[in-house]
Amino acid sequence: MLKQKIIDQSATELPDSAAVISVVDDNPMFLDLAASLVEIRKLNGVMGYILRSNTSAIIDLADQDKIIEYAILSSQICESSSEMAKQFNLRNIKSVLVEGKTVKLLCMNMSDNRISVFMEKTATFDSLIKRIQQQSNTLI
């Protein structure tokens, strides 16, 4: 049986609105990415994020009523992009950007961690990708 624990919010400085789901996890990259995403969340145009590992997840979205829909969308896009990469014999996909009528979704894989950042349609994402990649490079 898995033991559940709540991540110490003072260590990663998560906002009160962030939903934290965790099972005992010894993934230092997860915690460092979480800290980076807290800062990214403060940027203009960023609506929220979902960070998932094999055993933990952090969800911080502006629209609390749509958490389930956003989580399903994020999961389907990550899985679909992986399947497409396999079918077309592509190497690992670093990031996927999906644009809707009013929202952009940036999905990235970092080791065993999946990151989904939800943005307003007008938001820029280039700096987000660089910032997240820099964070992962400092951890490797």
- Residue 116 sits in a domain whose CATH number is 3.30.450.30
pLDDT of residue 82: 86
On whether residue 120 sits in a domain, the answer given is yes
Percent of the chain with pLDDT over 70: 78
139 vs 61, residue with greater confidence:
61
More reliable by pLDDT, 5 or 82: 82
Indicate the pLDDT class of residue 2, thresholds 50, 70 and 90.
very low
**What single letter denotes the amino acid at residue 98?**
V
Residue among 118, 97, 96, 110 at smallest CA distance from 40: 118
pTM of the model: 0.77
- Using 50, 70 and 90 to split pLDDT, how confident is the model at 20? low
**DSSP letters for 96-126:** EEEE-SSEEEEEEEETTEEEEEEEETT---H
Q: What is the pLDDT of residue 119?
A: 92
pLDDT the model gives residue 11: 43
Q: Which domain holds residue 15?
A: 9-139
Write the single-letter amino acid at 123. Answer: A
Domain count, the chain: 1
109 part of a folded domain = yes
Q: What is the pLDDT of residue 135?
A: 64
**CA 32 – CA 78 distance, rounded (Å):** 21
Is residue 3 situated within a structural domain? no
- Quick: pLDDT tens for 30-60: 888 888 899 889 988 999 999 999 888 899 9
Report if residue 70 sits inside a domain.
yes
Grouping H, G, I as helix, E, B as strand and the rest as coil, residue 15 is coil
Burial status of residue 44 (CB atoms within 10 A of its CB: 0-12, 13-18, 19 or more):
exposed
Higher-scoring residue by pLDDT: 131, 9: 131
What's the length of the chain? 140
Strand order in the sheet with 95-99: 19-22, 56-61, 46-52, 113-120, 103-110, 95-99
Is pLDDT of 124 > 90? Answer: no
Task: Please state, in angstroms and rounded to a whole number, the distance separating the CA atoms of residues 125 and 127.
Answer: 6
